[in-house]
Amino acid sequence: MEGDKEHPLVIGKFKNPHGFKNINMNNLGIQYANSNKSWMTSLIFKNWVERLNSKMSVENRKILLLLDNAPVHYFDGEFSNIELYFLPLKTTSKIQPIDQGIVHSFNRCIKKE
């Protein structure tokens, strides 16, 4: 409701990407994680949500996180300041085209920098 934004989570293949050799990743305004295929994993998701929950706890805020039904998003447990809500099955294909505009804008900003 407040319009706050979180830094995007960028997942790459390498722990220390060659393109960011002399750049402090903390100054880029992103969170970075790596996996073998540059895909979200259950561990990356869990760590990201735990960091977000800690931040929300410090700020004394509670949020609702809307998620698609990807298997990596499932988590056994609860968070103190985040409620996970899973969208109904078979709705991702109806919603996902919206993501393409976000991805395109993000790529343009990165290439510009």
d(CA 98, CA 73): 19
pLDDT of 42 reads 92
Write the pLDDT tens digit of every residue in 27-53.
888 888 999 998 999 999 999 999 999
Write the pLDDT tens digit of every residue in 11-32.
889 888 887 888 887 788 888 8
- The domain segmentation of the chain, as residue ranges, is 9-87
pLDDT of 47 reads 92
Write the pLDDT tens digit of every residue in 48-107.
999 999 999 999 999 998 888 888 888 778 899 999 988 888 776 666 655 556 677 777
pTM to 2 decimal places: 0.72
> Which pairs with CB-CB distance under 8 Å and at least 24 residues apart come from 25-34?
31/7, 33/9
d(CA 39, CA 85): 21
